[in-house]
């Protein structure tokens, strides 16, 4: 297979024939997936299907045993580490909300801002109007303006999820990988989150991993179902949810 | 002095002068006297059973059955005079005694005594014993003893100035065939010899040396295994508390120390109450040490560690504090000095395997360590507690929801780790100091073993311990003990950079989360 | 250093701390030198030396707090950097003895003479110059920390693994410095110093000056740490401490940050050691003992991890207690107390003295509704470290 | 303190705040961290500077008890100069800088007249500058490497020529030893002693090939390789002996390994300089029968003075099994010398006592009378003892008379021309070649 052939598709994120195993357990098995620029893709699948491991591979946390992972058609992500990949413009929200709990909401966003990340740069950093305006805007988007001076650790679970999405916004990456954004949220919050992601999708490519089928349906985007580390089905939510195999292994009869 | 004293009596009386030179003269004269009492006198002297009264110049033998006889007459005596004292020896005299006894017991009916006599003659190679050795050789029917007599004869001939060259060449061959350190000592210490003999001796020496050099590799490997077993024993409890539970127990060494002190207490009780049981003292100490250290472990887990789960660095500090308290507590209770823990007879001494000496205590410790390891492995695999333990470490919440009392399992796991450390203390009491500082000297090494082998993997600990032990013992002759140890530490530091999770690391998403 | 990052670092508590240290640094020597002996306020010379030692420990504690409290790196080998700085200074002081050693050899220190060394080993060259020695005080610990950190952080050795290998590092150095062949005086180390920069180290004036210098070093060290922790760099460090991989996914090169503070912290520890040596009069391998490093960590824990003032305060409080309890009838129980302190602080006072005080202050302010809410209490502009690492 | 200060600064004017700070700082610093000293003039204070915790407690605790016992006995006799002696005990916790700190505290705060203390050389080196600066007296009771003679220190333990060299002489003469293993822990005492012995052996015609030198770290516990090496070295056909300067804790595993590998004293005797009754208390000595130790005192020596001392010591400690050892005797001699010197000059003034001490004689426990020499070392007899089965020693040899301690070894290149003479020359390192004080330089 020739890698350069696929460049024609100009996929933002391109995985082909990826394998990973941990101590003999095949977590990812010949996984191929392409995410077009500006696309939002929902990933579903049962526990252990390899969803999070796939994100680990894209963000450089786990190195695949074999296979191709390309960003923007040209950059081989398997050779880079997390920091470098983040710098390229791939942001990630973890399954368990991970924010800097002992710092304020505002500082969390400040840290996420896509500015000079060198030791020197941060030591002599002195803030700018543009930066604070950007933070204000993100705070507004994620509805945390009133909580800006609160410690992130004191936020509710849903607020932490939003703060983490807000950090992604502040980071302003080209691709957002969002792992279970609505876990533990109320219906209203879930709905708001879907709206928020759709809003973000206007300027960003997004990959969402989620179990909540109502939420996935609400997003109304192309769905990929993973099972045992490989793609089981791909298509619209209706197509996928009517797939025999998907029903068998995931949705249940 | 009795008026009728003959030469033998005169000789014996010299023992009462309390002068080493007189004692030496007396040994020679008595041994040469041919008197039936000569052998009993000299073996009594060797065992410290020969007493003398400096005033009356009378000398007495305390027989092994406790009866006392006059050394000159063999007549029974009721009791020793008040001022009688054991005849003193120094090393030189002890050697004289051995040599004399060797001559006297060459024809003893007891095979063990004959063998010992032959070996002491091989060392002393006294010329005047040649006829006796030859007649003994002719009479001997037990093969190894016959061999020993032949070697003793060869040794005498080699040192006999008037022996013929061909006799000496035969003797060199016999000694060469023996091939051990003592043969080497004998051949290198020959002194002036006829050129032919000297040449044969030199080639025998180099043959023995190259043989010994090969054996020294075997020896290093054995020492490495032995050191590895000690490391493994010290680390295995840590592999449970650190590896399985993720708890850094800096007081682990003190659990080892408590085990050693338990052994001391057991032996004290046995010494004062039931001296006959001394050889079983360790067998009694093992379960007790396990229980005592295990109980203290459970106590520690319930009062300190359970409040610190998920905070490994805080656990480290708290348990370090605990180690200080335990050390000082033992120091207060037992005093700061070393305590004596004896070796039971089955753990004393050594045997020869080829050209290396294997000491029983090291051998038993190796066997013991492997047994503990096997039992532990089986326990984790096949018992209910082992199953629960693995369940809790893999997924605490799930285990709890399935009805496992996680806090009980935590306490028991920690108790198990501590108990095994206590058992290690019993074994270490056989080769190291029993002092409040005992644990300190093992804690860093134990952590190195566990980290090197890979956390959470008992097999890793096993391989780690033996690798470090053997590497250390092969480095030691080259670099010296200190540099060898430094080199090992540096290598471990570099190794951790290469494989941050150790030799046998668990891989996967779960361990990194 | 640009002024804005300096001014930002000076809030009320920090200013108060600096003023107090400065006052201590000036007043104690003055009272020692000027007031008549026996006067109520006269500080006897031995106490000047003692407090000088505490101040050096405070600097060491600051350096540990910078990496542990703010970046989550628990080094159990920081005593090694302290000792290396001390050895660099000790080598200078040794060379200053010159021909006044017992053997009167103008070049070789006494221990080399009696081990029959005929010439100075190469690594002793240059230590007769103060400037060179001062450079080495920073460079040697800094370089070791840099190399060690470069290897360890790049391979992502973290948490207890890092703690254990730092311990292995200091243990290896301990064994190495014990060796007489190593050329640093073996077990006895370096001692019997005479002069520093031409002044007699025993003289009251020199002691007073050394004390003042130590206080100055504490202030400078404190300012450097304050500047760092109040800058955005400080926020990144805390981010690394609380969620290392999150920080990585935001595009921060975590290992560079760790390496930077680790090396800086080692240099600070080296300076503390260098000031310590002329005041106590001896440096020997026991300073490398892992137990010393662990004890220094507990100073920080007692004072309050993640609060700079707490670290310094903890060092002084614990060592004051040590001095107090190792004399008189309580002497045999000192280790019980120290051990109990380790346990109790981690169990009952996880935030340390200053951290607990801060929380209390914050709550009382919040209930009183005082407008002055976030000044002195939030001393370092951040919350307490998350106990769950 | 922090509460008050931050709060204070917030509320007070700046000037008042500064004044308050100053007062507080000085008050805190000047109030010593120690319990207030009692200005009792009716007692003479005696400082005891021995580790009661940490690794050295194992050896030093006994010495603290010894001085307490000696003070008790002296006070029963009416004290010194009509005053009672008052012991001041501190714990330097086996921490060398703490030794210096505690020495300073004893002298400055407690105003002791004399200090008995230290065990390791490094602790002595650590307190030396303090004693010089504050001009006080230290009695140091442990055998050491020599190469030192300080005005303020009196060395009552053995110098190398009072222990190592007689032991080697004995082995050469009595045991006809031709090959030597010098095994030691890697620190200054073994290094120096072995240097001296090496030079001495060579001067007696021993070839380099017949000397094996081996160093091990402190607390070394795995002796398999080294014992095997010794065995190998000893099988070269010449009588071999081991001269051991192995430090306390490492001895037990060393002897255990010797015993187990079957090295008997009749094959390769080991003579030790750091193994005494206290160390043997931790070992089953039956396999060690005949191995040797060289000391200036053994508990088993039968003299009326020694028997009385042991009886009273065991009564004082209420422990009928408590052993005595060489450093204890050194303290016994040193303490009595100090008492005599104080009574001679009728003052505890350190200058006067230091000047009075050389020439003072005090009986030792082995039947002789030891004398303080101008180099601040004392004369002592040297005994060679063989280990007995009961953990005691049997004296097999002794020097005909008392041996004077040499501060500077005659065998070492750097010190062969040096002498210590605090009476005539007033100098600890007087060079007899250049006739100058101050080592060999210039």
**Contact residues, chain B, for C333 at CB < 8 Å:** 328
**Contact residues, chain D, for C13 at CB < 8 Å:** 6
Distance CA D439, CA D417 (A): 9
Q: What pLDDT sits at residue C281?
A: 87
Q: What pLDDT sits at residue B84?
A: 82
User: Do A180 and A151 form a contact (C-beta atoms < 8 A)?
Assistant: no
Does residue A35 surpass a pLDDT of 80?
yes
* Owning domain of residue C302: 3-368
Q: What pLDDT sits at residue D35?
A: 42
- Give the closest-approach CA distance of B241 to chain A in angstroms: 24
In a domain? residue D308: no
**Per-residue pLDDT band at D24 (split at 50, 70, 90):** low
Does residue D22 surpass a pLDDT of 90?
no
The Cα angle at residue D357 between residues D353 and D358, in degrees rounded to 5: 145
Q: What pLDDT sits at residue B422?
A: 95
C19 at the B interface (CB within 8 A)?
Answer: no
User: Do D183 and D245 form a contact (C-beta atoms < 8 A)?
Assistant: yes
**Contact residues, chain B, for C159 at CB < 8 Å:** 312-313
- Give the closest-approach CA distance of A51 to chain B in angstroms: 12
**Per-residue pLDDT band at A180 (split at 50, 70, 90):** confident
Q: Do D174 and B433 touch (CB under 8 A)?
A: no
B403 at the A interface (CB within 8 A)?
Answer: no
* Owning domain of residue D245: 164-272
Q: Do D442 and C42 touch (CB under 8 A)?
A: no
Phi, psi of D428, deg, nearest 5: -90, -20
Q: Looking at the structure, give the CATH architecture of the domain made up of residues A98-209.
A: 3-Layer(aba) Sandwich (3.40)
Distance CA A20, CA A33 (A): 15
**Contact residues, chain C, for A171 at CB < 8 Å:** 250-251
Q: What pLDDT sits at residue C1?
A: 43
Distance CA B320, CA B323 (A): 5
The pLDDT tens digits of the residues spanning D375-389 come to: 999 999 999 999 988
Percent of chain C surpassing pLDDT 90 = 50
Q: Which helix (H) or strand (E) holds D46?
A: strand D43-49
The SS3 call for residue D195 is helix
- Give the closest-approach CA distance of D241 to chain C in angstroms: 24
- Give the closest-approach CA distance of C67 to chain A in angstroms: 15
- Give the closest-approach CA distance of D13 to chain B in angstroms: 42
User: Is the pair B, A in contact (3+ CB pairs within 8 Å)?
Assistant: yes
In a domain? residue C385: no
B434 at the D interface (CB within 8 A)?
Answer: yes
Q: Which helix (H) or strand (E) holds D272?
A: strand D270-272
**Contact residues, chain C, for B308 at CB < 8 Å:** 346-347
Does residue C142 surpass a pLDDT of 80?
yes
User: Among D53, D260, D284, whose Cβ lies nearest the Cβ of B349?
Assistant: D260
DSSP C40: T
Helix extents (H) in A142-228: 157-171, 187-201, 213-219
In a domain? residue D262: yes
The Cα angle at residue A211 between residues A208 and A216, in degrees rounded to 5: 60
CATH number of A1-88+221-253: 3.40.50.300
Distance CA B233, CA C336 (A): 28
Question: The tokens of A90 are what?
Answer: 């791939």
Q: Do C331 and D89 touch (CB under 8 A)?
A: yes
DSSP B18: -
Phi, psi of D309, deg, nearest 5: -60, -45
Which residue of chain D comes nearest to C336, CA vs CA? D53
Q: Are strands A75-76 and A66-71 parallel, antiparallel or unpaired?
A: antiparallel
The pLDDT tens digits of the residues spanning B237-268 come to: 888 888 777 788 889 999 999 999 999 999 99
User: Among B307, B316, B498, whose Cβ lies nearest the Cβ of C160?
Assistant: B316
Does residue A3 surpass a pLDDT of 70?
no
Q: How many CB atoms lie within 10 A of CB B203?
A: 12
The secondary structure of chain D in percent helix, strand, coil, rounded to multiples of 5, reads 40, 20, 40
Does residue D138 surpass a pLDDT of 90?
yes
Q: Which of A52, A49, A51 is nearest to A250 (CA)?
A: A49
Q: Which of C110, C202, C204 is nearest to D132 (CA)?
A: C202
Report the half-sphere exposure of C36 (CA within 13 A, side-chain side): 2
Q: Do C239 and A111 touch (CB under 8 A)?
A: yes
Q: Per mean pLDDT, which range of A227-236, B56-65, B449-458, C369-378 is the poorest? A: C369-378
The SS3 call for residue B59 is strand
Does residue C158 surpass a pLDDT of 70?
yes
Phi, psi of D244, deg, nearest 5: -105, 120
In a domain? residue D103: no
- Give the closest-approach CA distance of A26 to chain B in angstroms: 11
DSSP D438: S
Does residue C296 surpass a pLDDT of 50?
yes
- Give the closest-approach CA distance of A78 to chain B in angstroms: 17
Does residue A176 surpass a pLDDT of 70?
yes
Distance CA B503, CA C253 (A): 27
**Contact residues, chain A, for B508 at CB < 8 Å:** 22-23, 25, 27
**Per-residue pLDDT band at D152 (split at 50, 70, 90):** very high
What's the whole-model pTM score? 0.87
CATH number of B215-512: 1.10.3470
Buried b or exposed e, range A87-99, using 16+ CB within 10 angstroms: bbbbbbbbeebbb
Distance CA C270, CA D155 (A): 36
Does residue A6 surpass a pLDDT of 50?
no
Q: Do C243 and A91 touch (CB under 8 A)?
A: no
* Cβ neighbours for B112, distance < 8 A, ≥ 6 positions apart: none
**Contact residues, chain B, for A61 at CB < 8 Å:** 512
Overall average pLDDT of the B473-499 stretch: 87
Buried b or exposed e, range C139-151, using 16+ CB within 10 angstroms: bbbbebbbebbbb
In a domain? residue D231: yes
Q: Do A102 and C236 touch (CB under 8 A)?
A: no
Q: Do D122 and C284 touch (CB under 8 A)?
A: yes
User: Among B185, B227, B331, whose Cβ lies nearest the Cβ of D237?
Assistant: B185
**Contact residues, chain C, for A82 at CB < 8 Å:** 245, 248-249
Stronger pLDDT, B54 or C232, i.e. the higher one? C232
* CA dihedral sign of residues C224, C227, C229, C232: negative
Q: Do C116 and D128 touch (CB under 8 A)?
A: no
User: Among A107, A117, A124, whose Cβ lies nearest the Cβ of C235?
Assistant: A107
Which residue of chain A comes nearest to C383, CA vs CA? A102
**Per-residue pLDDT band at D9 (split at 50, 70, 90):** very low
In a domain? residue D250: yes
User: Among A91, A98, A122, whose Cβ lies nearest the Cβ of C231?
Assistant: A122
**Per-residue pLDDT band at D115 (split at 50, 70, 90):** very high
Place of tokens 């060999």: D440
B49 at the D interface (CB within 8 A)?
Answer: no
CA-to-CA dists, residue B118 to B37, B42, B137, D242, angstroms: 21, 17, 10, 27
Overall average pLDDT of the D279-292 stretch: 81
Instruction: Say yes or no: ipTM exceeds 0.95.
Output: no
Q: Are strands A222-227 and A230-235 parallel, antiparallel or unpaired?
A: antiparallel
B509 at the A interface (CB within 8 A)?
Answer: yes
- Give the closest-approach CA distance of C250 to chain D in angstroms: 38
Q: Are strands D114-117 and D138-140 parallel, antiparallel or unpaired?
A: parallel
CB pairs under 8 A between A and C: 93
Q: What pLDDT sits at residue B179?
A: 81
* Cβ neighbours for B289, distance < 8 A, ≥ 6 positions apart: B258, B259, B260, B262, B263, B419, B422, B423, B425, B426
A99: left (phi > 0), else alpha (psi -120 to 50), else beta? beta
Touching partners of C (3+ C-beta pairs < 8 Å): A, B, D
Which residue of chain C comes nearest to A112, CA vs CA? C250
Q: What is the mean pLDDT of chain B?
A: 85
Q: Which of B334, B340, B320 is nearest to B439 (CA)?
A: B320
The pLDDT tens digits of the residues spanning B281-315 come to: 999 999 999 999 999 999 999 999 989 887 887 88
The SS3 call for residue C48 is helix
Q: Do B481 and D61 touch (CB under 8 A)?
A: no
Does residue C376 surpass a pLDDT of 60?
no
Which residue of chain D comes nearest to C20, CA vs CA? D21
Touching partners of A (3+ C-beta pairs < 8 Å): B, C
CA-to-CA dists, residue D331 to A71, B32, B88, D155, D378, angstroms: 81, 50, 31, 10, 12
Q: Do C323 and D33 touch (CB under 8 A)?
A: yes
Phi, psi of B326, deg, nearest 5: -65, -45
State the best of D1, D47, D60, D96 to mutate against chain C, taking most chain C CBs within 10 Å.
D96
User: Is the pair D, A in contact (3+ CB pairs within 8 Å)?
Assistant: no
Q: Do D30 and C53 touch (CB under 8 A)?
A: no
Structural domain count of chain D: 1
Name the residue ranges covered by the structural domains of chain B. Answer: 7-91, 106-193, 215-512
Q: Do C23 and D21 touch (CB under 8 A)?
A: yes
Q: Do B190 and D225 touch (CB under 8 A)?
A: no
Touching partners of D (3+ C-beta pairs < 8 Å): B, C
- Give the closest-approach CA distance of A55 to chain B in angstroms: 12
């Amino acid at each position: 297979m020739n890698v350069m052939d696929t460049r024609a598709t100009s996929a933002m994120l391109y995985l082909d024939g990826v394998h990973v195993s941990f101590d003999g357990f095949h977590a990812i098995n010949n996984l191929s997936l392409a995410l077009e620029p500006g696309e939002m893709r929902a990933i579903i699948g049962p526990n252990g299907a390899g969803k999070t491991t796939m994100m680990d591979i894209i963000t450089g946390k786990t190195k695949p045993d074999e296979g191709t992972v390309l960003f923007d058609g040209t950059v081989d992500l398997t050779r880079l580490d997390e920091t470098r990949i983040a710098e390229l413009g791939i942001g990630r929200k973890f399954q368990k909300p991970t924010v800097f709990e002992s710092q304020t909401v505002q500082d969390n966003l400040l840290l996420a801002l896509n500015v000079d990340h060198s030791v020197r740069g941060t030591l002599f950093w002195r803030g700018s109007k543009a930066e604070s305006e950007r933070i204000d805007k993100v705070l507004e988007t994620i509805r945390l303006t009133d909580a800006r001076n609160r410690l992130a650790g004191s936020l509710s679970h849903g607020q932490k999820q939003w703060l983490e999405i807000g950090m992604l916004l502040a980071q302003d990456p080209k691709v957002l990988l969002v792992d279970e954004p609505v876990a533990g949220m109320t219906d209203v919050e879930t709905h708001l989150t879907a709206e928020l992601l759709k809003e973000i999708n206007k300027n960003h490519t997004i990959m969402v991993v989620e179990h909540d089928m109502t939420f996935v349906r609400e997003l109304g985007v192309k769905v990929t179902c993973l099972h045992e580390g490989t793609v089981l089905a791909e298509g619209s939510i209706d197509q996928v949810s009517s797939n025999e195999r998907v029903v068998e292994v995931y949705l249940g009869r | 002095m009795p008026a009728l004293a003959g030469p033998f009596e005169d000789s014996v009386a010299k023992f009462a002068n309390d002068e080493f030179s007189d004692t030496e003269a007396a040994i020679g004269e008595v041994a040469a006297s041919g008197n039936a009492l000569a052998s009993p006198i000299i073996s009594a002297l060797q065992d410290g059973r020969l007493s003398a009264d400096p005033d009356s110049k009378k000398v007495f033998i305390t027989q092994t059955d406790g009866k006392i006889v006059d050394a000159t007459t063999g007549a029974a005596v009721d009791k020793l005079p008040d001022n009688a004292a054991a005849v003193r020896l120094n090393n030189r005299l002890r050697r004289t005694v051995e040599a004399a006894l060797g001559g006297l017991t060459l024809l003893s009916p007891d095979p063990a005594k004959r063998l010992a006599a032959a070996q002491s003659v091989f060392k002393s190679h006294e010329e005047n014993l040649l006829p006796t050795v030859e007649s003994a050789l002719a009479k001997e029917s037990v093969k190894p003893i016959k061999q020993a007599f032949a070697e003793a004869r060869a040794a005498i001939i080699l040192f006999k100035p008037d022996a013929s060259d061909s006799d000496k060449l035969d003797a060199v061959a016999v000694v060469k065939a023996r091939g051990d350190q003592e043969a080497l000592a004998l051949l290198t210490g020959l002194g002036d010899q006829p050129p032919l003999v000297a040449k044969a001796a030199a080639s025998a020496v180099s043959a023995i040396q190259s043989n010994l050099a090969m054996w020294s590799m075997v020896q290093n490997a054995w020492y490495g295994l032995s050191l590895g077993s000690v490391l493994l024993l010290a680390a295995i409890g840590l592999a449970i508390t650190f590896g399985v539970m993720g708890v850094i127990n800096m007081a682990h060494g003190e659990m080892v120390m408590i085990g050693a002190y338990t052994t001391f207490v057991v032996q004290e009780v046995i010494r004062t109450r039931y001296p006959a049981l001394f050889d079983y003292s360790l067998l009694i100490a093992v379960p007790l040490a396990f229980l005592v250290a295990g109980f203290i472990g459970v106590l520690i887990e319930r009062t300190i560690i359970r409040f610190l789960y998920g905070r490994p660095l805080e656990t480290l500090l708290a348990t370090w504090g605990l180690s200080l308290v335990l050390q000082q507590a033992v120091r207060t209770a037992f005093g700061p000095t070393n305590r004596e823990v004896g070796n039971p007879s089955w753990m004393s001494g050594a045997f020869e395997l080829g050209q290396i000496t294997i000491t029983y205590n090291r051998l038993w410790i190796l066997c013991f360590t492997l047994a503990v390891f096997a039992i532990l492995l089986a326990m984790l695999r096949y018992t209910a507690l082992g199953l629960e333990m693995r369940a809790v470490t893999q997924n605490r919440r799930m285990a709890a929801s399935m009805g496992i009392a996680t806090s009980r399992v935590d306490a028991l796991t920690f108790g198990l780790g501590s108990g095994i450390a206590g058992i290690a203390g019993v074994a270490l009491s056989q080769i190291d100091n029993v002092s409040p500082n005992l644990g300190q000297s093992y804690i860093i090494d134990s952590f190195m073993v566990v980290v090197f082998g890979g956390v959470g993997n008992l097999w890793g600990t096993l391989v780690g311990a033996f690798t470090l032990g053997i590497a250390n013992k092969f480095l030691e002759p080259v670099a010296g003990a200190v540099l060898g140890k430094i080199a090992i530490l540096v290598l471990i530091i570099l190794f951790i950079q290469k494989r941050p999770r150790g030799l046998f690391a668990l891989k996967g998403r779960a361990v990194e989360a | 250093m640009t002024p804005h990052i300096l001014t930002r670092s000076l809030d009320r508590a920090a200013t108060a701390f600096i003023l107090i240290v400065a006052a201590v640094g000036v007043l104690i020597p003055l009272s020692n030198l000027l007031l008549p002996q026996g006067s109520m306020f006269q500080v006897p010379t031995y106490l000047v030396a003692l407090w000088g030692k505490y101040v050096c420990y405070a600097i060491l504690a600051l350096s540990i707090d910078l990496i542990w409290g703010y970046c989550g790196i628990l080094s159990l080998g920081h005593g090694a950097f302290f000792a290396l700085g001390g050895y660099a200074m000790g080598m200078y002081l040794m060379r200053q003895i010159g021909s006044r050693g017992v053997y009167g050899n103008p070049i070789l220190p006494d221990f080399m003479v009696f081990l029959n060394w005929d010439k100075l080993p190469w690594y002793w060259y240059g230590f007769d110059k103060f400037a060179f020695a001062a450079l080495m005080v920073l460079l040697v610990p800094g370089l070791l920390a840099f190399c060690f950190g470069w290897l360890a952080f790049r391979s992502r050795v973290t948490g207890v693994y890092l703690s254990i290998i730092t311990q292995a590092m200091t243990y290896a150095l301990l064994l190495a410095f014990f060796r007489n062949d190593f050329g640093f005086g073996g077990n006895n180390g370096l001692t019997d110093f005479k002069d520093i920069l031409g002044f007699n180290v025993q003289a009251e004036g020199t002691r007073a000056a050394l004390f003042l210098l130590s206080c100055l070093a504490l202030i400078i060290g404190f300012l450097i740490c304050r500047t760092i922790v109040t800058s955005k760099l400080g926020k990144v460090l805390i981010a690394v401490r609380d969620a290392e991989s999150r920080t990585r996914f935001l595009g921060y090169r975590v290992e560079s940050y760790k390496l930077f503070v680790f090396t800086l912290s080692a240099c600070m520890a080296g300076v503390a050691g260098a000031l310590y040596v002329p005041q106590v009069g001896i440096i020997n391998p026991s300073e490398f003992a892992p137990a010393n490093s662990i004890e220094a960590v507990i100073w920080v824990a007692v004072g309050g991890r993640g609060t700079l003032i707490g670290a310094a305060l903890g060092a002084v409080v614990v060592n004051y207690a040590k001095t107090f309890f190792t004399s008189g009838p309580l002497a045999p129980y000192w280790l019980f107390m120290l051990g109990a302190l380790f346990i109790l602080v981690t169990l009952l006072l996880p935030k340390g003295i200053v951290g607990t005080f801060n929380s209390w202050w914050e709550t009382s302010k919040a209930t009183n509704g005082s407008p002055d809410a976030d000044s002195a209490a939030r001393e370092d502009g951040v919350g307490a470290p998350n106990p769950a690492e | 303190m922090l509460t008050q200060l931050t709060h204070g600064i917030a509320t007070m004017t700046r000037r008042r705040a500064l004044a308050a700070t100053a007062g507080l700082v000085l008050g805190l610093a000047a109030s010593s961290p120690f319990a207030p000293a009692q200005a009792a003039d009716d007692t003479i204070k005696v400082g005891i500077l021995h580790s009661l915790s940490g690794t050295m407690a194992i050896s030093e605790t006994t010495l603290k008890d010894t001085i307490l016992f000696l003070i008790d006995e002296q006070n029963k006799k009416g004290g010194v100069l009509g005053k009672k002696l008052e012991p001041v005990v501190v714990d330097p916790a086996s921490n060398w800088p703490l030794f210096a700190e505690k020495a300073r505290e004893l002298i400055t705060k407690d105003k002791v007249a004399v200090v008995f203390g230290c065990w390791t050389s490094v602790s002595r080196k650590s307190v030396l500058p303090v004693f010089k600066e504050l001009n006080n007296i230290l009695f140091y009771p442990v055998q050491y490497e020599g190469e030192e003679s300080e005005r303020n220190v009196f060395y009552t333990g053995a110098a190398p020529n009072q222990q190592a060299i007689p032991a080697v002489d004995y082995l050469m003469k009595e045991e006809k030893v031709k090959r030597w293993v010098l095994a030691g822990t890697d620190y200054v005492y073994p290094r120096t002693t072995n240097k001296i012995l090496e030079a001495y052996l060579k001067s007696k015609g021993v070839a380099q090939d017949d000397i094996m030198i081996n160093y091990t770290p402190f607390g070394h516990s795995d002796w398999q390789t080294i014992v095997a090496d010794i065995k190998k070295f000893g099988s070269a056909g010449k009588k071999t002996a081991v001269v051991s300067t192995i430090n306390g804790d490492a001895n037990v595993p060393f002897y255990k390994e010797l015993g187990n590998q079957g090295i008997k004293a009749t094959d390769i005797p080991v003579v030790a300089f750091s193994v005494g009754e206290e160390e043997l208390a931790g070992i089953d000595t039956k396999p060690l029968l005949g191995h040797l130790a060289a000391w200036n005192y053994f508990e088993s020596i039968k003299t009326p003075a020694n028997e009385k001392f042991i009886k009273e010591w065991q009564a004082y400690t209420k422990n009928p099994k408590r052993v005595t050892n060489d450093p204890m005797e050194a303290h016994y001699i040193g303490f009595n010398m100090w008492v005599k010197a104080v009574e001679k000059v009728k003052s505890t003034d350190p200058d006067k006592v230091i000047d009075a001490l050389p020439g003072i004689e005090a009986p030792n426990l082995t039947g002789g009378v030891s004398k303080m020499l101008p180099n601040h070392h004392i004369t002592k007899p040297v005994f060679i003892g063989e280990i007995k089965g009961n953990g005691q020693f049997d004296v097999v040899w002794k020097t005909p008379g008392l041996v004077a301690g040499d501060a500077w070894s005659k065998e070492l290149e750097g010190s062969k021309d040096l002498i210590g003479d605090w009476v005539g020359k007033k100098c600890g390192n007087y060079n007899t070649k250049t006739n100058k004080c101050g080592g060999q330089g210039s």
